[in-house]
Structure 1
Amino acid sequence: MTTNRRPMLALAASLALLSGCSSFGPVTSGTDDPCATLQSVVADYTTGFDAYRGNGSSYAMVTLYRAKEQLIKGHCEIWEWGNGDAAYTCTVGAPNQEVATAMYQQANNQLSACLGENWQGTEAGRERDGRPAGEVTRYQNSGKAGPAVSLHRVQDRSQHSVYLYIGTPGRSPEPAN
């Protein structure tokens, strides 16, 4: 897979521009080469993202680690459940649906470019309690089994966010039917 850092840098820049005028603050990349970091995070899935675990906090059913390398500075962490499942996630809040949709579309374009041609995305709606709750794009590697990689635009009442999920397929939220 060819490493191209421009797409993720463009993603960080576009997120910064989109959220810079809100109370959510600017969003920037936490790594010099986001595409290479993304590819390394995906490859480290088999170790439970061990190479990316920073300081952790344990709770009854999960341990949360601050990610040592952050695709989106200050917004990424690693979740590890008691059964050994793990996920690398980044979540960014948005002030409204328009900004969240623009962030989601731009991030989807950049994520697709960074993952490369072996990964195919499938879009679907998200649903919560029988009501529309955003959208999701799930990426699947046609070459081999691996982690679930998905990008979500979440809409919950008046709150909006976009999050990246890399981890155990069984933990990735299912799309609406």
Structure 2
Amino acid sequence: MFRKISAASLFLLLVGCGSTLTPTQTAYVDNLTPCEKIQGLVDGFENQFEPLKATRVQTKFGDVWTPKYHLLGNSCQILGMNNERVSYKCAKQYDNESQSRDAFDLAVNQVAQCLGSQWQANNTAQNQSQRTTFKNAEHDAVISIQSGQTNAKYNKTWQTSFEVGGLIKK
């Protein structure tokens, strides 16, 4: 357990060293286990993912940062809404429901395995969408994984998303 926590902390420290990762930092992050990466994101929520934030874009609804590290492909963002809500979110598109559901099942199983029994999973399904949310009374972060059909107008696609977020306590 100590190795996971110290690796997650080192991950956040390394990522926070500059706007881009050095080759050494990239190699270190690439060699982290999925559990160390997930724990690093849970730990990063406590300080609004500050070490992970890179390029910032301000909108009237909040701020969007490109993260220094992507958990899923190159599709992640850090979203800050009016200093009350922050999240690290990734999404990946698929050509069919089966691919999206497989990715969803893999992500849910991986998170459940990594976080352990202290985190309670809540499953919901509506129409062709499925969501699993992980919560822990000792953490403010919430992990949400969702799979469903997109609203694409001309091409029927599916999406699986992964989010670490929640309300910021002041």
TM-score, normalised by the number of residues in structure 1: 0.70
Give the whole-Å Cα distance in 1 for the aligned partners of 2:116 and 2:77: 24
The percentage of aligned residue pairs carrying the same residue is 20
Structure 2 residues without counterparts, runs of 5 or longer: 5-28
| Secondary structure of 1:61's aligned partner | coil
The runs of at least 4 consecutive aligned structure 1 residues that moved more than 2 Å come to 156-159
Q: Give the aligned CA root-mean-square deviation in angstroms.
A: 2.0
Q: 1:77 touches 1:88 (CA, 8 Å); kept in 2?
A: yes
- Cα distance in 2, alignment partners of residues 79 and 156 from structure 1: 20
Larger radius of gyration: 2
SS in 2 for 1:47: coil
- Per-residue deviation at 1:154? 2.3
**Corresponding position of 1:31:** 30
Residue 137 (str. 1) matches residue 127 (str. 2): no
Q: Which residue of structure 2 aligns with residue 14 of structure 1?
A: none
Report if the CA contact (8 A) 1:121-1:137 is conserved: yes
How far apart in 1 are the matches of 2:113 and 2:91? 20
CA displacement at 1:160 relative to structure 2: 0.9
Matching residue within 156, 160, 166 for 2:164: 166
Gaps of 5+ in 1: 4-29, 127-131, 171-177
- 1:140 corresponds to which letter in structure 2? K
Distance 1:80 1:152 in 2: 20
How many residues matched? Answer: 138
Q: CA deviation at 1:106?
A: 1.2
